Structure 1
C-alpha cells in the first residue's frame, strides 16, 4: 500500500530541513543586545552568491528574546553556526530552483504575504517589524518565494518515490510494541475557581490584576471552600460546576474533563486524582489555574494500543523518516557540487 503524499507532510519536511535553527535548544535568557557576537558583513558565499549578516543577526536576536538564562560563548557560537548553515541550505535550494526554472505563482506569494501581514494590528506595526528586521516588503516577498521554491523541490524529491507498505507498518508496530503501551486513564469532573475569573480577565487590565494577585487568590480559596461545604451537604458536583466553575469549556457539561493520562495534567492534579476511588471527591487542590474540587468518575487500566489505532500514525512516521532521509541526501549532494565558503 502506498501512503498518500499529503501536503502537510511536505510542509513539515520543509520546516525541519530549512528551519533547523528553531530546533536549537537554548533554555536561555538574554542579558542585552551586547550579547550578539561580532559577525562579518558577509557570513558565507555559495557559488559566488553572498549570504549577509543581516538575517543571521535577526535570527540570533529572536533566540535572545526567548532565552531564559545568559548564554556562554560556545552556546552563542553554536546557534550562529546553525543559522548560517540553514541559510546556506536555503541558498542552495534557491539556486537549484533557478537552474530547474521553477516559478512561483504571484498569487501564492501575495496570499502568504497578506497572511503574514494580518498578524499585525495595523500597517504601522507591520512596518515597524520590517524595520526591526532590517528589510522591506520586497525582501519579505522574495523570502516567501525562496521558501515556496524549496517546498516544490522537496515535493519533487519525495512525491511518488516513498512507499510504505503494510508489512513495514506491521513490522514497526511489533518491534516497538512497548512504545504503544497506554498508561492508566482517568475521567473526572471538576469545579475550578480562579483568582482571575474569565470576566475579570476580559474587563480588567492585567497589571491591575497582578497588583491584587494575593487578595484575589484568598477570595478564590474562600469561594472554593464554600462550594466544598455545599458538596458535603449533599449537592452534586455536576450541578455546582454549572453554577460556579470558571472552566468555561467544561462548566456546562457538569465539569466533565473526559479521559486523560496523568502526564497530561499538572502533577499536583494527577496526584490528587490517583488517590481517589470512583465516586470520591478530592479535598481542595491548587494548581497554576486556581483551586479545584475533583470527582473521579471512571478509570481505564493500562493497555497496549491495538494495531488499527496506531496504523495511520506509524505510516506517517515511516513516511516522514524515509522522506527526510531522501531530502537530506539530496541536500548533501547539492553541497558536494557547490562551492561553499564560510567566513564566520
Structure 2
C-alpha cells in the first residue's frame, strides 16, 4: 500500500503550483465557498474551499474524477505549506516589491482579457484595490514556493542515458502524439517617441508638479493622469523599496530629496515621473509617483518601419543571419534571446501550430518555408503597436513522440520526473519534522503516515 501511495505521489506531485494558487480565489461560486479547515501544517492552514477549487480546476482540464485525484491535490497543498514553513527556517523570503511587480503584470493581463479595469470590477463586484489585496498573499505564497522548489532542485540535470531510459520506460501506447508543429521566428521593432513627443509630456509633468506645489491632491492627480496601473489605483503609492530595485534615475531622485519634497520630472525607461518622497527607513525608501509615458507619432512609426525593413534587407543579402539580427535588434524580450524563435514550454524552437498567435498563423499559412515577410504592423498585448518581420523556418508533420524529433521535450519530461522524485523524497523526510494534522474525513489519503 505504501509503495502504491508513493508511486501515486510521484505521478502527481507537480513542480508548478500556478494551478493551485490562481485567481480562482476570487470566485463567487457557492459550490466552493466552504470555510472549513481540513489540514494544518505548523502555522499554516488549508481550507476545504481551497481543495474544492483546485479539484474543480483539475476537472476543467479534462482529468478523470476519483478519490485518488483529490488525495493527490490535497497532498500538493500540504507540500506547498511545508515548503512555506521550510522557507521560514531557511530564511528564504520574497520581497513585497517582487510580489507587486508580478501582481501588476497579472492585473495588466486581466485588464486586457476583460477590456479594462472597470470591467474587472464589474465582473467580480469589487474594487481593483480589494482585488489586488485578495490576490497579493496568494502570489507571495506562490513565488515563495517556487523559490523553495528551486532551492531543493537547483543544479539538477539529466544525462542522455537517463533520457533514453526514461523514454524506454514509457509504454508504447502511452507515447504522446504531437500535432503539426512549426518553427517560426520574428524580429520586432517598437516605435520610440521622438523629441517632440517627449517635450510634450515633460511640459505636462511640469504643469502637474506646479499644481501639486499649489496644494492639489497627489492621489487625485495620480488617479487622473498616472499610466502606472498598479500604483494609480493607490493614489500613486509604491510602498517601500530597497536600493537597486527601481530604475536608477528614479532611485537617485528619490534619495536626493527630503520627506514631503516633490521632484522635477524624472525620465526613466518607463517615461516621465513626478515623485514625492514619503519616508526613508534604513536602506529602504517609500515614494509615490505619477507616471506618463510619451507616445510615438506617425513620424516615429515610419522610422521604426524603415529600420526593420533595412534589417530585412541585410538578412536577404546574407550580410547577417536572422538569428543574429534578432538577438541584436529585436525589441521582443521573449523571443530575441532564442534568435527570434517562438519556444514551447520545454525550450524547443518549435511550437504547435494552433498555439501561434492567430495573426502569425494566418500569415505563415500563405508563406513558403524559408521566406521572410515584409514589415508587418501589429498590436501588442498592452494595446500599443509595433512592426515585425516573420521568418517561416520549418513545418513538422503530426507524429508520435520519438527521440530523434522530440529529444528536448522528452529530456524536459525526464528532468521534471527527477525533480518530482527529489520533492517527494524531501516530503517523506520532512513531514516527520513538522506538525501535520488532517481532518479525519481525509484519513484515507494517508498523508500523515
TM-score category (smaller protein)? 0.3 to 0.5
Q: Please report the TM-score for the alignment, with normalisation by the length of structure 2.
A: 0.37
Structure with the higher fraction of residues in helix conformation: 1
With a CA cutoff of 8 Å and minimum separation of 6, indicate the structure with the bigger relative contact order. Answer: 1
TM-score (norm 1): 0.46
